[in-house]
Each structure stands twice: as structure tokens, then as C-alpha cells.
Chains A and B, each alone.
Chain A
Amino acid sequence: MKRARELFRKSGAASMIDPRTGLTAALLIVLALVPLYAVMTGNSFALTLFTRIVIMAIAAVSLDLIMGYGGMVSFGHAAYLGIGGYAVGILWKEGLGSGFVQWPAAIAVSALFALVVGALSLRTRGVYFIMITLAFAQMVYYVAQGLDRYGGDDGLTIGQRSSFSGLLDLNNNTVFYYLCIAALIGSVYLVSRIVNSRFGLVIQGARSNERRMRAIGVPVFRYRLVCFVIAGALCGLSGALLANQTNFISPAIMFWTRSGDLMVMVILGGLGTPFGPVIGAVAYLLLEEALSRVTEYSGLFLGPALLLVAIYLRGGIEGLFRKERP
């Protein structure tokens, strides 16, 4: 009983609901109600748009793990979207339509790629790290362009969504949407557990002061590498979801501007926060969608908006709702 009361007090519920928790809850409720809204208004595009937003949010969450918490500014994160997507597409093309094969494969290949990229890039710092991650992503982009059997530059149309042998019917857009929501919540929870674990503290400590980290006896490289692999695997899952949603995968998803979009989502939402990237993905993609309806030159408005965030909103949108620590 006493313990329960203490937990209650710690959660802050006794005084007032944390504005951050409030924002998170509100956003989750809105996301959960999207299919209902789509059915009631007959606006099926809303569901398509939000499915895409939720999938990109998973990718942003995975990028935040390395960029926000780990200080590893990867400029090639979209590569994992493509690798995850191509894993689904290629397996389908070769006659393996089962999600039980496709999804683990997407995750495993992405993790393997992250292991290679990380093993080389994490030996460098700053601009060099950014350039190496970018170079690897562009390399995969051009390799995909050369895959004539799988559509080359034009991309590959995937005949059907992953099958889960009657367990789940992904062809039902609402089911698919809720599966994506579940994956997103799972990802956010996973990342929030990781960053508060011993492993997570090492990762954050290394970002904060690498020299001191070594001085207290921690070999930083191997922890960063594992973190890099986890983020790559998670983003690979998001790639598999994306290919399922659109029934299509092409090299364009891996172009470097896509990696840039992911970085913008994370920064816009709030670097190094569990839910910030979700907020960022929703805000960025909705803004992009809205602007593209009114003007051809959406970038003309998006650019200044990002500038304002960079100058005045260092903690991102999420930072607006954060309580100050002592």
C-alpha cells in the first residue's frame, strides 16, 4: 500500500498531470481514432496518410535512439527503410509471401547492414561519421537501381501484403493500421526501456562526455555499435511495413533526402526523448501534406518553419511540454 502510494506520487499524478504525459496521451488517442474518422467521413485517404505517418514515426524513433540519445548523427538512416522494404519485395518475388519469413528477414538484413556500416563509421567522428553513413546509404541506393530483376530504377510492385497464415489479414487497411500502431507503441516502449537501462546510460554518457566514459573504464565503441545495430534493425521493420502499405518498393525511398527527412522529424519533435520523434513525424508529414495542397513550393514554407525550430525551440515540440528539473 505504502509502495503504491509512493509510486503514485512519483508518477506526478498526485499534484497534476505532467503536460508531457498529457500530450502523449492526446496524440495516442487521436491516432487510435483515425480509422473511425475515416469510416465516418468516408475519407479513406486519411487512413492511408496516417498509416504512412505511423510507419515513418517508427523509423524516426529508431533514428532518435542513435542520434538523440547516442549523439551518432547518421545521415543514411533511410537505407534501412529500403533494405527492410526490399527484403519483403524480393522474398515475395521469389515466392516467399509469409510475413513470418519476410519480417524477420527484413530486420536481420538491416541489422547486418548496420553492423557493417557501424563497424567502419563509428571509428570516426563528426563530419566524417556523417559522410560515411551517407556514402553507405547512397551505395545501397545505386545497388537497388541496378537490380534489374527487381525493377531497377522503376521499383518493384509487390503483388500482395505479407501473409500471416490467417492470424492477421493485412489486406484489411484498418487491421494493418492498428498493427502499425502496435509496432510504434512497442518501439517507443523498447527505446524507453533501453535508454534507461545500464546500456542506455552508457550510450548517453558517451554522447555527453566520451573522454570521461573511457576514464571510468568503459570501452565506448562496442556499446555504440550495438546501439547502431538495434536502431538499424528497428528501422528495417519500419521499411517492411512501408513496403506492405504501398505494395511497392523503389530506390527512391533510400535517396539521401529521405534520410534528411527522418533527421528533421527527430529534431522537430525533440532529440533524445522517447515520444519526441513520434510528435515530429506527425507534425512534419502533416505539415508537408497540408502545404502541398495549397502550394507547389511547400519547401518554401517548410524551410523557414524548421529554421524557427532550430533557433527558438532547441528541445523540439516535445521540449515545450517538458517540466524543468532542479
Chain B
Amino acid sequence: MSPPLLRVEGLSKRFGGVVAADTIGLDLMRGEFHAVIGPNGAGKSTLVALLCGEIAPEGGSIRFDGSDITRLPADRRSRLGLARSFQITSLFPDFTALDNVALAVQARAGHSFHFWKDARRDPALRDPALTALAAVGLAARADYRVDRLSHGEHRQLEIAVALASKPRLLLLDEPMAGLGPDETARITALLRNLKGTITILLIEHDMETVFALADRITVLVYGRVIASGDPAAIRADAAVRDAYLGERTRAPMPEHNTKENLLELSGIETSYGLSRVLFGISFAIAPGEMVSLMGRNGMGKTTTVRSIMGLTRAGAGSIRFAGQEIRDLPAYRVAKLGIGLVPEGRQVFANLTARENLVATAANRRGAPEPWTLDKVLALFPRLAARAGSMANLLSGGEQQMLAIGRALMTNPRLLILDEATEGLAPLIRDEIWRCLRALRAAGQSILVIDKNVAALTRIADRHIIIERGRVVWTGTSADLAASADVQHRYLGV
């Protein structure tokens, strides 16, 4: 058997307090179609960035075709035959589609110190570029500027650009991100055609695609490889199943509505540029209720939260908070009305101390009969009290998370929203966060929480809402969720 094309050993990388890659080992055989899956924040994109040389690892080695490339810069690796596509479309927006691909052909064709001849009329560049465009089904769009193309076409073009450099190894970082079913099917067909012709490493959340295409699958959780094997073995692996949420679900349940609702969403539709993410989200939260928002990655959970907060404006529908329409309000007004957000990735003010973070936030807060104070927050998070004078960027990931929650509480929120508040944290810290949320809920705080940990959510939340491709597909109580085998069951989750 020939040696692997790519051999990764003991690869490690930390970002502040979070371990994004923890002694990752991975072998890619020539011609293999290998998929890497794992929950959000598992370190998949970090792995791609490490492999293509965008960031440097703290430990471990990467060997490509027998030679050590651990320290090579990105452009050298690319010339060795390692091409990538980007999760967030990364093209040349003011170039035409053909120019984008031709530039990749040109980069592969030796140096570009040619100053005179018109590169746009050079058949040595244009012809292979047209071929690559045709391969992804974009030939008719060759002369369109990239910023006039649809999101789906951007994704196709991403692959064309990667293919045009005639790679020996193709790294595809979520090529289906944000695509509708038809476009997903088109890309899947394209990948099926490529399978076997070059070695492919695919990062993808769409499980149907992964199981249909991959020869082998590696599962990452918290930067660690927890399983690696053929699709059947992965499907049967208990640890893998635990890493994901339960199940895809069916018909929406009737909206539960006993009290006057604190928050009411109806028919919310939101897009990022050309890419539609939410297709009419509707749900409600009653005062004192703790509700969870579940679903796979890229299904619209964070976008829902951003739409509520006014960080991304919803194009249609209504969002009522405490009886007031807030859909078109700017984020700072929404915050002042009493919605406190603990954003994904924490986003603490890195150059302020923990104490300053908390105090600064209180400046734009709503009056409340029993306001949150610095002492109350520090009492809730004793661990934070010990480090109140430290700069926020020197806190560990867990401490930063507590700070982010404390900061949201300092606005005296009527509704607290947590987006992936336990992501990337060690189990002990996660337990502490859950303990705090339970205490807050017991004190009557309304909470909307997004999290991957279904077991913990079913223990402490009142109701659950599952979002799939920008639509609410199921709502029910913890008992409903636990009882519904259909919801909890099937492949790795979701």
C-alpha cells in the first residue's frame, strides 16, 4: 500500500483559553474521499486553516506527499498542490467569474511577472478556466461579475477556483453552507464526479451528503478526534451520537400560549445578501419561561437571535417584545428595552478588565426595581470575583463566558438570550454555567438558550423549538422531546 498523501500527527492549536485542535492525527490515502464532521466549534475550520497554512500550529506535524510542510506559508502549500475552498465565500468580488478561475490557473502556471501581454486574452489561461467553470455548471456565467452572482453560484465558483489550480488534495470547507436543496443536490453530484479523481477532504454538516460520499469519516469534538472510520462504523459509534443533537423532526406542534407572551416572533424572514437563511420563523416565549432553540448548524439559530436583537434586519414578519414591535429597531434600542444577549464567541471587551466590562455595560440599561449590581454578578460567579481586576483577554474561555453572561445580566434584561454559551468549554465549567442558568430561571428570569447539549437542555428548559433550514419544524416540552423517539433518534444527531 502506498504511503498516505497527507499525514497529520499531534496537531495542536489554542486560541486564548480555548483548545481548537488537540493532538489531531489524520491520514489521507491517495484518491480517498475523507469527511470531517463535528459540532460547531469542534475545530473543523481551524483544522482547514492549519492544513492550508493560514495559521501556525503550536505542536505536531503535517506531511504532504512525504515532505514536511508544517512551517510552509499558504502560497507555497498551494503550489505543492493543496487547494481549498472557503466556508464563507472568499472570491474576488469585482472580477468576473472567469477572471476568478483564470487567476487560479495563472497562479498554477508559474510566476506572474509578465507585464505586457493581455492576460484576459491568453488562451493558455482562459481555456482551462472555462473548462473548470463548465465542470461546475457555471459556463453561462463566465462574464458575470462575482458580486452579481447568487449565493449558490458563489459556492460553485469556490469549487471551480479550487479545481482550476489542479490540486492533488482538495480541502472543501462546508461547500454546501447556506444552500437550498436543489443547489445542495447539484454540488453533491459535482463532488460525486470528482470522487476518485483527486484526494478530497470535506468538512460538512449535511450528514446525508457525508454518508453518501465519504470513504472514511473523522469526527472532531472540542478539537479532538473522537472517532475515525468508514461510514457504517461512525454511524454505530455511541460517542459520535452523543456529540450531536437527536433528530430531524416533522410537523410543527401548536404554539403553547397560556400567559401574555414576553416575546413573539411571527413569519420572520432574514437573508444575508443573496442568501436567504430564515423562511418564516414563528414562536413565542412567556414571562419566566426558559426556551431552547435547537437544530443543526447553519439552520438559522444564530440568525434568529440576530434578527431579534436587530443585529441583522429581518426582511419580513414581526417581532413583538413586551407588546412593542421591535423588528426595525437598532440593536442598542432593543438592548435597552430589556433583551440581554450573550453572543456566540463571547465577544467580551478584550482591553477592559472583567470589572470594567460589567460596569461599562450598565451604562445603557433599563431601570428595574431590583437592578443587577456588580456584587450580585460576582456572587453568581465566584470564579469571576477572584479575577475581576484581570484584563478580559487574559481570562480563560470559561471565565470569559461567565463574564459575557454577567455583562448581559448587568443590563437588567427581561429576556436573557444565550447563543452557544457552553461551546468550547471544559465539562466542569459547562456544569457551572448550567447551574447558574438554573438559578436564574428559578428566580423568574425569562431565558432563550441555544446549545448543542440536548441532555442538559431537557433537564432545565421548559420548552424546545427545533429549527431546520430556516423553519420551525417542531416545538414541545422536555417531556415531549424525551418521549419522542422520532425526534431523538436516527443518525448522529439531528
A binding-site residues for B, Cβ under 8 Å: 193-194, 196-202, 204-205, 208-209, 211-220, 223, 226, 325-326
Q: Closest approach, in angstroms, between the C-beta of A318 and any C-beta of chain B?
A: 16
- Whether a CB of chain A sits under 8 angstroms from the CB of B36 is no
Q: How far is the CA of A193 from the CA of B107 in the complex (A)?
A: 19
B92 contacts A212, CB within 8 Å?
yes
B112 contacts A217, CB within 8 Å?
no
Q: How far is the CA of A325 from the CA of B141 in the complex (A)?
A: 13
11 additional contacts, CB 8 Å, given A193-B116, A204-B95, A205-B103? Answer: A197-B117, A198-B113, A205-B92, A208-B92, A208-B94, A214-B54, A215-B78, A215-B83, A216-B103, A216-B161, A326-B144
B93 contacts A209, CB within 8 Å?
yes
B92 contacts A198, CB within 8 Å?
no
Q: How far is the CA of A216 from the CA of B84 in the complex (A)?
A: 8
Quick one: CB contact mask for B77-110 with A, threshold 8 Å, 1 for yes? 0110001101000111111100100111011100
Q: Closest approach, in angstroms, between the C-beta of B97 and any C-beta of chain A?
A: 11
Q: How far is the CA of A216 from the CA of B161 in the complex (A)?
A: 8
Interchain CB contact (< 8 A) of B107 among A204, A216, A325, A326: A216
Given A326-B143, A326-B144, check contact A198 B106 (CB 8 Å): yes
A326 contacts B114, CB within 8 Å?
no
A-B contacts, 10 listed (Cβ < 8 Å)? A202-B107, A205-B92, A205-B103, A208-B94, A209-B91, A214-B54, A216-B83, A219-B75, A223-B113, A226-B113
Q: Closest approach, in angstroms, between the C-beta of A190 and any C-beta of chain B?
A: 9
Quick one: CB contact mask for B51-80 with A, threshold 8 Å, 1 for yes? 010100000000000000000011110110
* CB closest residue in chain B, given A211: B90
Q: Closest approach, in angstroms, between the C-beta of B339 and any C-beta of chain A?
A: 34
A216 contacts B112, CB within 8 Å?
no
* CB closest residue in chain A, given B74: A214
Q: How far is the CA of A218 from the CA of B92 in the complex (A)?
A: 14
Given A215-B52, A215-B74, A215-B83, check contact A205 B95 (CB 8 Å): yes
Q: How far is the CA of A199 from the CA of B83 in the complex (A)?
A: 21
B115 contacts A223, CB within 8 Å?
no
- Whether a CB of chain A sits under 8 angstroms from the CB of B250 is no
Q: How far is the CA of A218 from the CA of B75 in the complex (A)?
A: 5
A197 contacts B119, CB within 8 Å?
yes
A214 contacts B78, CB within 8 Å?
yes
Quick one: CB contact mask for B115-148 with A, threshold 8 Å, 1 for yes? 1111110100100000000000000000111001
Q: How far is the CA of A192 from the CA of B52 in the complex (A)?
A: 34
- Whether a CB of chain A sits under 8 angstroms from the CB of B307 is no
List chain A residues, Cβ under 8 A from B118. 193, 196-197
Top 6 A-B pairs ranked by shortest CB distance? A217-B78, A208-B92, A198-B114, A217-B79, A198-B112, A214-B74
- Whether a CB of chain A sits under 8 angstroms from the CB of B411 is no
* CB closest residue in chain B, given A221: B75
Given A205-B103, A209-B93, A216-B104, check contact A198 B117 (CB 8 Å): yes
List chain B residues, Cβ under 8 A from A214. 54, 73-75, 78
A212 contacts B145, CB within 8 Å?
no
Interchain CB contact (< 8 A) of B112 among A202, A211, A212: A202
Q: How far is the CA of A204 from the CA of B100 in the complex (A)?
A: 11
Q: How far is the CA of A216 from the CA of B75 in the complex (A)?
A: 7
Given A196-B120, A201-B103, check contact A218 B112 (CB 8 Å): yes
Interchain CB contact (< 8 A) of A199 among B76, B107, B115: B115
Q: Closest approach, in angstroms, between the C-beta of B365 and any C-beta of chain A?
A: 33
- Whether a CB of chain A sits under 8 angstroms from the CB of B165 is yes
Q: How far is the CA of A202 from the CA of B109 in the complex (A)?
A: 13
List chain A residues, Cβ under 8 A from B92. 204-205, 208-209, 212
* CB closest residue in chain B, given A217: B78
* CB closest residue in chain B, given A325: B145
Q: How far is the CA of A209 from the CA of B115 in the complex (A)?
A: 21
Q: How far is the CA of A319 from the CA of B20 in the complex (A)?
A: 46
Q: How far is the CA of A196 from the CA of B115 in the complex (A)?
A: 8
Q: How far is the CA of A199 from the CA of B91 in the complex (A)?
A: 18
List chain A residues, Cβ under 8 A from B108. 216-217
List chain A residues, Cβ under 8 A from B122. 198
List chain B residues, Cβ under 8 A from A213. 75, 103, 107
Q: How far is the CA of A213 from the CA of B104 in the complex (A)?
A: 8
B116 contacts A197, CB within 8 Å?
yes
B165 contacts A217, CB within 8 Å?
yes
B90 contacts A212, CB within 8 Å?
yes
A198 contacts B161, CB within 8 Å?
no
Given A216-B165, A223-B112, check contact A200 B83 (CB 8 Å): no
B115 contacts A194, CB within 8 Å?
yes
Given A197-B115, A199-B112, A226-B113, check contact A208 B93 (CB 8 Å): yes
B117 contacts A209, CB within 8 Å?
no
